[in-house]
Structures are given as C-alpha cells and as structure tokens.
C-alpha cells in the first residue's frame, strides 16, 4: 500500500516563521517614496500597524509565532502533505508528486495563514477596522473570517470582474460579517477617477488596493488600517509555515529535499510559503529546481522588467523593487483572478534576479486541462489559480518519465475551486480562449514606468 497522507500532530506545528531576507545572498533594496528616497518605517504608520511594519523591515532569520496566533492556526493546521498517486498512475511517471493541501482552511485557501496573523497584530495595536482588496475573493473571505474571529470590522474592495464571476465569495464575506463592495466603486476618489475614464472597466487589483488604502488613511478616528493578502515581506513570512511543515513531513516520508518545488504566483505568497524554506536549502548547497508559475495573460516574472513601481493604480503605495507590468496595467479578465496582479513580491523578484527561481508562464486553457485531469484522477476541484501549479507539475512529471528519472516534486495546492465553477463551465463548453499578452500591449504598459528609478540587478551565485 502506498502512503497517501503525511500528517503532523498539533504539537508539531512550526513555532517560528522563516524570513528569507536573512539569507538572500543579495539584500533587498528599500522601498522608495515619491521623491525617490528610501522611506522610513514611520511613513507607513497610517497604513499599517507598527508591529507589522517591524516585521516588514526585519532581517531576523526566525520570528516567533505568538502563542495566540498558533491557537488560531490550530483550527486547520498543520495541513496534510498528500501524495497524488492517482495522477502519478495516470501519467505513468516515476516521479512522486507531493502537495500541501491548503484548501482545507475555513476559507478554502492558504490566505487565512496570514489573515489571522495580520488581524491579531492589528488588534494588539488597538485597531478596530481593516480595509483590503481582493481578486478572486479568496483573500477577502480569509480576512473576513479572521476579522470575525478577532472582533474587527472589515471592508473588502473586490475586483469588479470577480465580483460578477464569483457571487458566492461575497456571500462568504458577508457570512463572516464583512462588507464587500465591487471595485472600482463610487465610495472613494480613486474609484471615481477610474470609473470616469472607463465606466465598464473589469477592475484590477491595483485599483482595488488604491481604494482600500484611501478608505483606511481617510478614517479620522485613526483606528482603521489597510491589510494586504500578498506581495509584502510580512505576508511572505507568515506563509512560510506551509514550507516549514512540508519540510518536516517530507523528512517523515524519508525525503531530505524535493527535486522540484512549484507554486502558482499572483503576488507571490503561496509560492513563497511553500518554497522559501527550500530556497534557504538551495542557497546552502541543495540542488532544487524552484518554479513560480504565472498566467500568460499576466506574465509579470517572465516578461515584466525588474523596476521600481507602485503597488497600485493611484500610486498610494511606496515604490517597490519588483518585476512589474506597470501599475496601470489591467490584465485580461482570466478566471484565475488572484493571478491578475501587475507586480510581484520583492522577495520573489529578487530570488528570480539572483537566479534561485525559474519562473514559467502557462496559458489558461492548458491550466483548465490540467485542472480537469486533476479532478478526474485525484478527485478534488482546484481553484483556477492552483491549476497553474498543477499544469507545471504535470509537465515536470512527464519530463521525469521521458528522462526515466524518479524525482520528488512538491507543489502547493493553494485552494479549492468550489466557488469558481463558472470558469469550469466555460472551459467545458469550449468557450475559453488562449489569452497570452500581446507584445504591443506589454510595451505600452511598461512604457509608463520607464522613468521610474531602477533597482540594481544583483546576482552573486551560480545556483
């Protein structure tokens, strides 16, 4: 009998998060203000609570997870490591495919790992209300859930196209007590500006972020803060619990390090979560191929320049050093709404520049084919975002078969797709098209950021 699950008991949950900033061979370059000068932590004070700003700039390797945050995480963690034996059999591959099942959290994805931590730190700091944006609705529902647990008010700006495509996600947010509005909305200046130019816009994460930040900083009581479900260093940090658990579980299965680690990448957080502990191993000599996977419709890491850019359309965030398609870029309305972000986490971007990570872009039709094969072999219906990691995993498993090599592949099963069935319906009806970003649109989008400061391209190693 093949073992399909490796489980940890509650007492084996990791007690510390891992901070890649401590080990990156080339240090992260600082965020810049509009004047091009590095910003100081106190300049972020109106947007985030100071305890999270401290984590954002920390270069400590290990950061203790507060006992009360562990108590919140125990509701669904440790998450099982599973082996996809039925997919392996179908592909006739000698590869062993392992995945961390993050779909078992209350909101159905990896997002609650950081949502409960962020809500807890905000509460500690005396904050009463959180504002945020959401793409597919996974992050919005996660922060709604976390806010409910901690007794915080919560307002979510949901990208218009997903608001229409995924009606059940907004109901989940309401069930957990949050207020969810479609973005762009008439409730903020940033939203009204966009609607004036294009009343039928599908919206974007960049626009929704502007709205959420505006609502937070305009609260005269000073008791509202903004929170983000990806991109920032502290979000990557909180998600490393995924990879730290996986390390323990792979050891239990007799594997020191996997040969390949894969995660889909929108803003970078589930990818960082599963991969950063293994990036650390790679920096210290292990041979591991580490692949962030993105959609061809929003090819930030594979085709976007590494530049300083804003995180949002209205330029309310500092300039971050990252791969970007330009802050005003609005991707095609593909069904993987959580992968429609113009930028990428600076930590992931620097990992790509260093050559530690090997990004790939895959088209949505191929991803739905992979999602269907997954559902028809393994059984579960994955989120459209997760299908990108599955499509890449299948490619690597087929390569292993062609090379006749037994490889251990680990990927992050970042969420279930039970609220995303309309995309499956379109695919099954043959209505989905390939949606690769045309070169002319890419050039147009990045022309708008040519004048931005350029971060140094620093690479030290031969990985």
Ligand X SMILES: Cc1ncc(COP(=O)(O)O)c(C=O)c1O
Which residues in this chain contact ligand X in the complex, by CB under 6 A?
Answer: 109, 135-136, 138-139, 230, 264-271, 338-339, 383, 385-386, 414-415
Report the distance separating Cα 386 and Cα 383, nearest Å.
Answer: 5
* Eight-class DSSP state of 47: T
Q: Which is nearer to ligand X, 119 or 195 (CB)?
A: 119
Q: How many CB atoms lie within 10 A of CB 303?
A: 18
Question: Are 382 and 416 contacting, i.e. CB atoms less than 8 angstroms apart?
Answer: yes
Grouping H, G, I as helix, E, B as strand and the rest as coil, residue 155 is strand
Distance of closest approach, residue 337 Cβ to ligand X, in angstroms:
7
Q: Cβ 416 to ligand X, closest distance in Å?
A: 8
Q: How many CB atoms lie within 10 A of CB 212?
A: 27
Nearer to ligand X by Cβ, of 121 and 341: the residue is 341
Q: Return the number of the residue (138 or 147) whose C-beta is nearest ligand X.
A: 138
- As measured in angstroms, the least distance from the Cβ of 332 to ligand X is 16
Evaluate whether 308 touches 452 at the Cβ level (below 8 Å).
Answer: yes
Task: Please say which residue, 351 or 415, places its beta carbon nearer to ligand X.
Answer: 415
What's the order of all strands across the beta sheet hosting 153-159? 179-183, 153-159, 129-134, 224-226
CB of 177 to ligand X, least distance (A): 20
Cis preceding linkage at 90, omega within 30: no
| Count of CB atoms situated within 10 Å of the CB of 256 | 10
Overall size of the chain counted in residues: 463
The conformation of residue 364, written as its DSSP 8-state character, comes to H
Phi, psi of 418 (to 5 degrees): -70, -15
Residue whose CB is less far from ligand X, 109 or 210: 109
Residue at shortest CB range from ligand X: 338
Give 93 or 276: the residue with its C-beta nearer to ligand X.
Answer: 276
Answer positive or negative: Cα dihedral of 228, 171, 124, 217. Answer: positive
Q: Are 416 and 374 in contact (CB under 8 A)?
A: no
User: Residue 311 Cβ, how far from ligand X at the closest point, in Å?
Assistant: 13
Q: How distant is the alpha carbon of residue 8 from its chain centre?
A: 24
Nearest approach, Cβ of residue 145 and ligand X (Å)? 14
State the minimum distance, in angstroms, from the CB of residue 178 to ligand X.
Answer: 16
Question: Least distance to ligand X from the beta carbon of 179, Å?
Answer: 19
Judged by beta carbon, residue 250 or residue 347, the one nearer ligand X is 347
| Element at 252 (helix H, strand E) | helix 233-252
Nearer to ligand X, 24 or 107 (CB): 107
* 462 Cβ contact list (under 8 Å, min separation 6): 355
């Amino acid at each position: 009998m093949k073992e399909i699950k490796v489980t940890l008991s509650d007492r084996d949950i990791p007690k510390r998060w891992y901070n890649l900033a401590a080990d990156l061979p080339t240090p992260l370059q600082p965020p810049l203000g509009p004047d091009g000068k590095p910003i100081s932590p106190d300049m972020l004070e109106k947007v985030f609570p100071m305890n999270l700003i401290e984590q954002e700039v920390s270069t400590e390797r290990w950061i203790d997870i507060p006992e009360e945050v562990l108590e919140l995480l125990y509701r669904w963690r440790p998450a099982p490591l599973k082996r996809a034996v039925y997919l392996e059999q179908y592909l006739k591959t000698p590869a062993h495919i392992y995945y961390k099942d993050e779909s078992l959290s209350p909101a159905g994805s990896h997002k609650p790992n950081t949502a409960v931590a962020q809500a807890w730190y905000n509460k500690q700091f005396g904050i009463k209300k959180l504002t945020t944006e959401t793409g597919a609705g996974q992050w919005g529902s996660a922060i709604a859930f976390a806010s409910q647990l901690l007794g915080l008010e919560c307002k979510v700006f949901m990208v218009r196209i997903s608001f229409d495509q995924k009606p059940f996600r907004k109901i989940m947010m309401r069930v957990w007590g949050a207020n969810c509005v479609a973005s762009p909305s008439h409730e903020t200046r940033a939203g009204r500006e966009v609607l004036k130019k294009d009343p039928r816009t599908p919206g974007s994460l960049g626009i929704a972020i502007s709205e959420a930040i505006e609502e937070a900083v305009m609260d005269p009581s000073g008791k509202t803060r903004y929170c983000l479900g990806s991109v920032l260093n502290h979000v990557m940090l909180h998600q490393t619990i995924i990879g730290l658990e996986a390390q323990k579980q792979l050891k239990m299965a007799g594997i020191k390090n996997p040969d390949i680690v894969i995660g889909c990448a929108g803003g970078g957080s589930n990818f960082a979560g599963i991969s950063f502990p293994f990036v650390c191993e790679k920096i210290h000599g292990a041979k591991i191929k580490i692949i962030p996977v993105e959609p061809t419709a929003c090819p930030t890491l594979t085709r976007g320049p590494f530049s300083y850019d804003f995180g949002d359309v209205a330029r309310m965030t500092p300039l971050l050093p990252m791969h970007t398609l330009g802050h005003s870029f609005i991707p095609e309305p593909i069904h993987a709404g959580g992968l429609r972000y113009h930028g990428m986490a600076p930590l992931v971007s620097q990992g790509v520049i260093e050559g530690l990570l090997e990004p790939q872009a895959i088209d949505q039709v191929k991803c739905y084919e992979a999602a269907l094969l997954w559902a028809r072999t393994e059984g579960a219906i994955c989120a459209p975002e997760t299908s990108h990691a599955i499509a890449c995993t299948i490619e690597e498993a087929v390569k292993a078969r062609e090379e006749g090599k037994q490889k251990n592949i680990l990927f992050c099963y970042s969420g279930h797709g039970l609220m995303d069935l309309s995309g499956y319906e379109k695919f099954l009806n043959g209505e989905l098209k390939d949606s690769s970003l045309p070169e002319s649109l890419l050039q147009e989008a990045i022309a708008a950021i040519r004048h931005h400061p350029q971060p140094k391209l620093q690479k030290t190693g031969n990985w």
